[in-house]
Amino acid sequence: MSKIKKILVANRGEIALRIMRSAHEMDIKTVAVYSEADRQSLHVRYADEAILIGPPPSAESYLRIDKIIAAAKQSGSDAIHPGYGFLSENELFARRVEEEGLAFIGPSAKSIEIMGSKLAAKAAVAKFNVPLVPGTSEPIDDIGKAKKIAAEIGYPILIKASAGGGGKGMRIVEDGKSFEEQMERAVSEATSAFGDGSVFIEKYITKPRHIEFQIFGDKHGNIVHLFERECSIQRRHQKVVEEAPSSVLTPDIRNAMGTAAINVAKSCGYYNAGTVEFIMDDKLNFYFLEMNTRLQVEHPVTEEITGLDLVQLQIKVAEGERFPFRQDELSIHGHALEIRVYAEDPANNFLPDIGTLKTYTRPQGHGIRVDDGFEQGMDIPFYYDPMIAKLICHADTRDAAIRKMIRAIDEYEITGLETTLGFCRFVMEHEAFRSGNFDTRFVENFFKPEAIKEPGDNEAWISAALAATLLNGKNGSHPEPAARAETSVKWRNRRFEG
Ligand code: ADP
Ligand code: ADP
Ligand code: MG
């Protein structure tokens, strides 16, 4: 295979920029595609060329295979990077890209197809000695039979859409009474959301932790893992805080899970970057959940602890190069945390709160990385995922990374809309998170909106800050407490400023 000279990035926002930056460092030209809602977007400005592909709705732009292929041809691109979301896990797209003689920067269409169905994935990995969550291995068509199986597995159980993703298409059933009703709802939701009503049953793992492994394969049969990411802090089964390494894995468990992850990759002849997700119970038993056949949102924490540029590696693997390291040459350096800054209101069930970034100031300094796609004054469009930015911190130890994250959150200034920043600060300060003793129900168990936004909080903080300032003025002591209180007021009371 030959060197790639021009990459079309079939995505938008922070991930499009992140990919283009690596391409730029490799002297590869970049082509952006954009919808009418993204005319002013940073990814459009950053690219060497930009092509308008349609109206704002994704179905008319970022999901249009024909338009994206036409843009690639028109621009003379020789490769396409799909990013995450949109067409990244669409096997028809991957196949079409290759049929057109372009390089798809990702796995084969066949791997995507197998892992795109949670049931097909389970069937493939079962032959490779990978532990699976107890449950059904076929789509359910007989409710009576399914209810019997559910009783055998033991409640609570989870009904899952085989084609599901992004935390959607899942229902927890607590007992047999509501089984039929939940089942009907699950099938109709799966049909309308994914065009495929196949559902199956899994045991609901209690006190579950979500731990995933980054894997990487080349086209010469080499597959390694780049360690784990802990992603248990979630809302709506979707991640908000991620870290690497996980504070619960011993070297032995890491080894066992890493080997299982590599086996999952082998089961579908995988190459390029992928993520194998596991669910872990409170006794540290782990079970395969699914494989995401793309670059993951939270890949930066892996980059921080390994020092590798995953996008650069993806491009090289697509060019046919061998993965440059053996497993025993890879190791973990320090600790990394990522928070997802969403335009959402944690006080209102994390519902999207889109609008204009009235003020937008990024944190800076040692060990801080911000991957975003916006600038002050820009609108967060209503059509797409409401993620504004990913804030990533790296330090020698977990504790130091947490302190750095709190400092960075305090420096981050966003007004004009509600964000998850205050919630993430709450997580960083919470004893359960600090101790490492938490699971995916963290939000349900510990989070109350009052914790970050109490009525009267405003006055309380301002008077505390004032008192501290006056006190400091009088006795000439260190002014730090006042300054810190004031910074906190900024994010705690964005609503009152906007
Ligand atoms: P990650 O596992 O990388 O954290 P997420 O589950 O948060 O990824 O999903 C990444 C992006 O892809 C999100 O924008 C999400 O909405 C989207 N996504 C993932 N799977 C699907 C799917 N099956 N259908 C539609 N969107 C999806
Ligand atoms: P998606 O394709 O939407 O990402 P996953 O199967 O990866 O679906 O599950 C998403 C999240 O749902 C997990 O991170 C976890 O929090 C929860 N979950 C999934 N399966 C189980 C299970 N069997 N028991 C407990 N929680 C689960
Ligand atoms: Mg998942």
Establish whether residue 210 lines the binding site of ligand 1, counting it when its CB lies within 6 angstroms of any ligand atom.
no
Of 203, 220, 241, the residue at which a domain comes to its end is 203
Cβ atoms of residues 145 and 201 within 8 Å: no
Q: How many CA atoms lie within 13 A of 124 on its CB side?
A: 25
**pLDDT given at position 467:** 55
Query: Do 78 and 43 share a domain, yes or no?
Result: yes
The CA 168 to ligand 3 mean position distance, Å, reads 10
**pLDDT given at position 263:** 98
Nearest atom (ligand 2) to Cα of 239: 14
**pLDDT given at position 99:** 98
Q: Collect residues with CB below 5 Å from ion ligand 3.
A: 277
**pLDDT given at position 145:** 86
Domain limits for position 483: 458-492
Number of domains composing the chain: 4
Domain with residue 60: its CATH number is 3.40.50.20
pLDDT in tens, 92-139: 999 999 999 999 999 999 999 999 999 999 999 999 999 999 999 889
Instruction: Identify the three-state secondary structure at position 283.
Output: coil
Establish whether residue 242 lines the binding site of ligand 1, counting it when its CB lies within 6 angstroms of any ligand atom.
no
Query: Do 316 and 176 share a domain, yes or no?
Result: no
Domain with residue 149: its CATH number is 3.30.1490.20
- Please tell me the distance from the alpha carbon of residue 102 to that of residue 94, in angstroms, as a whole number: 10
409: in domain: yes
What's the whole-model pTM score?
0.90
Q: Mutation test of ligand 2: which of 118, 155, 170, 278 has the most ligand atoms closer than 8 Å to its C-beta?
A: 170
29: in domain: yes
Query: Do 184 and 324 share a domain, yes or no?
Result: no
Establish whether residue 275 lines the binding site of ligand 2, counting it when its CB lies within 6 angstroms of any ligand atom.
no
DSSP letter (8 states) at residue 58: G
Please give the average pLDDT of every successive group of 10 residues along the chain, which has 498 residues: 94 98 98 98 98 98 98 98 98 98 98 96 95 92 88 94 88 92 90 92 96 98 98 96 98 98 98 98 97 98 98 98 98 98 96 96 98 97 96 98 98 98 98 97 96 58 52 41 37 34
112: in domain: no
**pLDDT given at position 463:** 53
Query: Do 465 and 431 share a domain, yes or no?
Result: no
**pLDDT given at position 497:** 31
Establish whether residue 235 lines the binding site of ligand 1, counting it when its CB lies within 6 angstroms of any ligand atom.
no
Counting ligands in written order, the one closest to the CA of 387 is 1
- Please tell me the distance from the alpha carbon of residue 169 to that of residue 110, in angstroms, as a whole number: 24
Taking Cα atoms as reference points, which of 294, 267, 284, 269 lies closest to residue 122? 267
- Please tell me the distance from the alpha carbon of residue 219 to that of residue 383, in angstroms, as a whole number: 37
**pLDDT given at position 484:** 36
